[in-house]
Structure 1
């Protein structure tokens, strides 16, 4: 099908996509189906989306127990919460956003040095999800790179802008430390103890930085930055410069659910529960289904730090959470298993990795 500009709208590829070219219209292949549309999203506020003061985890035992209970409730209801007082200097967050914006403003030939459609690549620049393969494309540009252990991967990261490695490296290190503290609280909330996974994730765990740019979209109601999906990770810690993240509250409206727009408040980080914590909890905690909406006038930047076990290490349901009344409900899987799934499936059509792990009754 040709659009009014005489271009075939099904042939946009990375390096030449509609969002990279700042087209003044939305081509047909970017138009999302009604099930993905965001028009009815609830305008959220801090009372709706849980916010947890992480500094309370470092308080006395009684206070720690109270905040862990708050965290547990958020993981059960939303699979999502916001955090404050987490101990990272605001300058580190601001610097990471600045170098991200500077990277995406580089000339195309500089960014194309990292261009790849290989989901197994440790560093890759791309657009949409899988360019040229998925039926629907998304108004997104991204750079993904491995980040732990930092000394193993940082030499593969962009050298331009000149401060990218330094500023993004510092952000990655600080967020990884925070992820270990949060994972300790999550495993403690499940009765597994705070050290159940922390050493394993500290020594051999994976950290993947998804550095995202969502350029202005001329018709934001017809397209999306990302479709409804959940993250494969244990947890994802997200920093953004503008609102645009929506989470699905499956408990609302008698179980039919609703979309909730997550507000943007400077200094607040977002935490997504991923598929592997849903497995770890044997279904008590849910990986949050979320999507990304677009802005007509302003570029949205987000930095998603995804934390999991090692690439080939399997996440499985602990024996402590299994009994006759609560049998194992999930198959074990690894980060590599997710990458294999991503190659073979189309998440723009609603395919979810977690659905392949659930054991049917």
Structure 2
């Protein structure tokens, strides 16, 4: 997502030549004279001519100036990455080893809501800036039509004949319009697997006449798109300013009269050896804010807590990340984060990143209201133009420049949640779980195995993941939410027909859990009953609302089929037969639906919709009405999981933790409430038959001593979990150690 040409991991031999007060880097002469003479008439193109002498195709002349797209399309039999593209990637930093994850997802419509909604959204943005440096935004106000048109016209540009694109070839990072491939092409270094097109924007783009007139619609589409993105960045900058305790217009004013807007369109061709090269090496952006969209092919990875995470594509959203300028302006409170672009062997990726920063002559320094004394400033001042030049010419990777502009006597402050208050719902960090595109399970073998790996990684590291392209009709999802809301709006006497405290009853309406014990209640009403492909308790389901039975039966049937698909992928991820988990559940297994109603609450920090717990089943599939409320505990920290329309949240229960012998995890989660709106969630759990024995899968343990869990009858486990007053995962530990029936 870097706005200019990326930097190189291997330093070229250079010679500094002093011109007045400036130093420029003299080109290292490593091109052969006969190649320069054969090159295009473009003076800059002459500097880009190169033969890959160590290529697996020794007779093939490769003109570096032609770009990676041209190379791939004209090397159909390519099975290896040419040596010039092989990057020195450490074994543990290979792209395929990144954990499937996601950044916080923030609904920007809250900025236009009530004061409380607005402040909550600003807090979410501030939290994301401090802890992640990245976040996704939904309900951003940019038309989907202009997003689609922009992606289309950029793809058309990259598909133009080479000579048409070469009109914009340049190596000067300050040129208003640049087409090129890789970065810092004057040095000896490994190349990046990317072509790019970059130019300035702005509300009144001064370089408009330089923009390409082919494709014919490019100028008009790009101008409209950049105008809408400009308005979005103003909205975000204002929220970030307020999150820092500054005047809403502070950041905008710091940029100068208009600031700088720059668009970088990137084309990452398919690659025969994705683990040996990168589309973009690790870097942080130099600007203030970057707003990115892509064509649906994943490729963005970010470094969070020293671990690489793959960020999935979520249709209709933008990825927003902070650049070095905002890290410096915030005096280190907010972070610009290292990220990289990885490539794949299946599909070309197109991304469009729009960066927003200060005017070129602006002084980059911490905001004066944030420092009381000069000694408190963690960064030295620098002219933005000089910073950009330095960042684009350095051979160092990552955040080398911003880290070395600091006062090294002071360490940037890290935000630490106080344990005593960290359990409060409002203290949870805004974040997200891995997002997995389930259509991959129906793709070619490589795509299918990649999807299974993503699910396995999510099960092992998170215990939760979100799914897109799941195959469940959006119409039945909407109907199910509607009929559940109608049920909870029924007169009390109607709902009380199904009231019960017996956790094994086939149909139950109630509030809280364990109502026979003395303890605090939960801010929740619920309706719960069994499902299944042939639901035996169907005649006991509520007949009011009149459409409930029909809709619920159809919904649970589709969810059942979907659960079967996930169980198969999880089985394969464990190295088991695809049908192993399904077979372990018994003839049909158990399907339970729990519909929850969390009313608005006057003091949300004093109660919970559901206390921390892990699910007892194998797999839970959840959707809600768009009101946030789910929080999960990941690495001992609570994360708020946002609602994304059209997706489901999937989480593992205790049964799968036991079956996997601890390889996969059931994770503590809770439901929190809010003061603005009622939340409805529908969770469908899938587990074994009631008389099934819960124990590790025999193929996963070679000796009895290697089993981490003792067997227990599933029915007894549920009774124990539902009757214990202990919360979190203590129920699992208590039951497995003290209450289980050891079978011999």
Q: Please, what TM-score do these two structures have when normalized by structure 1?
A: 0.83
Distance 1:298 1:56, change over 3 A: same
Structure 2 residue aligned with 1:223: 607
Distance 1:343 1:54, change over 3 A: closer
The 5 A counterparts of 1:137-156 are 137-156=521-540
- Count of matched residue positions in the alignment of Structure 1 and Structure 2: 318
* C-alpha contact 1:239 1:302 (8 A) present in aligned 2: yes
* C-alpha contact 1:79 1:272 (8 A) present in aligned 2: yes
Runs of 5+ consecutive residues of structure 2 not aligned to the other structure: 1-419, 739-744
* C-alpha contact 1:36 1:227 (8 A) present in aligned 2: no
Which one of 458, 471, 487 corresponds to residue 74 of structure 1?
458
What is the DSSP-based 3-state SS (H/G/I as helix, E as strand, rest coil) of the residue aligned with 1:161? coil
* C-alpha contact 2:661 2:700 (8 A) present in aligned 1: yes
Q: Of the two structures, which has the highest relative contact order with CA contacts closer than 8 Å and spacing of 6 or more?
A: 1
Structure 1 residue aligned with 2:477: 93
Q: Does 1:41 align with 2:428?
A: yes
* C-alpha contact 2:616 2:718 (8 A) present in aligned 1: no
Q: Does 1:337 align with 2:716?
A: yes
Structure 2 residue aligned with 1:157: 541
* C-alpha contact 1:229 1:347 (8 A) present in aligned 2: no
Q: Does 1:245 align with 2:630?
A: yes
* Higher Cα radius of gyration: 2
Q: Does 1:62 align with 2:449?
A: no
Worse-matched range after superposition: 48-57 or 344-353: 344-353
Which one of 256, 259, 282 corresponds to residue 661 of structure 2?
282
Question: Which string of whole-angstrom CA distances, capped at 9 and with x for unpartnered residues, describes residues 165-217 of structure 1?
Answer: 11111111110110011011101100012111224548320000011111111
* C-alpha contact 2:586 2:692 (8 A) present in aligned 1: no
Runs of 4+ displaced beyond 6 Å: none
What is the DSSP-based 3-state SS (H/G/I as helix, E as strand, rest coil) of the residue aligned with 1:211? strand
What is the DSSP-based 3-state SS (H/G/I as helix, E as strand, rest coil) of the residue aligned with 2:711? coil
* C-alpha contact 1:134 1:348 (8 A) present in aligned 2: no
* C-alpha contact 1:239 1:269 (8 A) present in aligned 2: yes
Distance 1:349 1:274, change over 3 A: closer
Counterpart Cα distance in 2 of 1:184 and 1:320: 16
Counterpart Cα distance in 2 of 1:66 and 1:325: 33
* C-alpha contact 1:76 1:284 (8 A) present in aligned 2: yes
Task: State the shift of 1:151 in Å.
Answer: 3.8
Task: State the shift of 1:218 in Å.
Answer: 0.9
Q: Does 1:317 align with 2:702?
A: no
Task: State the shift of 1:324 in Å.
Answer: 5.9
Distance 1:354 1:70, change over 3 A: farther
Q: Please, what TM-score do these two structures have when normalized by structure 2?
A: 0.41
Runs of 5+ consecutive residues of structure 1 not aligned to the other structure: 1-32, 251-256
Structure 2 residue aligned with 1:130: 514
Task: State the shift of 1:335 in Å.
Answer: 3.0
Counterpart Cα distance in 1 of 2:422 and 2:507: 32
Which one of 640, 648, 655 corresponds to residue 269 of structure 1?
648
The 5 A counterparts of 1:166-245 are 166-199=550-583, 201=585, 203-241=587-625, 242-245=627-630
Distance 1:106 1:120, change over 3 A: same
Structure 1 residue aligned with 2:226: none
Task: State the shift of 1:326 in Å.
Answer: 7.9
* C-alpha contact 1:238 1:269 (8 A) present in aligned 2: yes
Structure 1 residue aligned with 2:270: none
What is the DSSP-based 3-state SS (H/G/I as helix, E as strand, rest coil) of the residue aligned with 2:642? coil
* C-alpha contact 1:309 1:334 (8 A) present in aligned 2: no
Structure 2 residue aligned with 1:291: 670
Worse-matched range after superposition: 329-338 or 123-132: 329-338
Question: Which string of whole-angstrom CA distances, capped at 9 and with x for unpartnered residues, describes residues 25-68 of structure 1?
Answer: xxxxxxxx967522221112xxx410001111111221111111
The 5 A counterparts of 1:13-24 are none
Distance 1:345 1:53, change over 3 A: same
What is the DSSP-based 3-state SS (H/G/I as helix, E as strand, rest coil) of the residue aligned with 1:203? coil
Structure 1 residue aligned with 2:411: none
Distance 1:135 1:330, change over 3 A: same
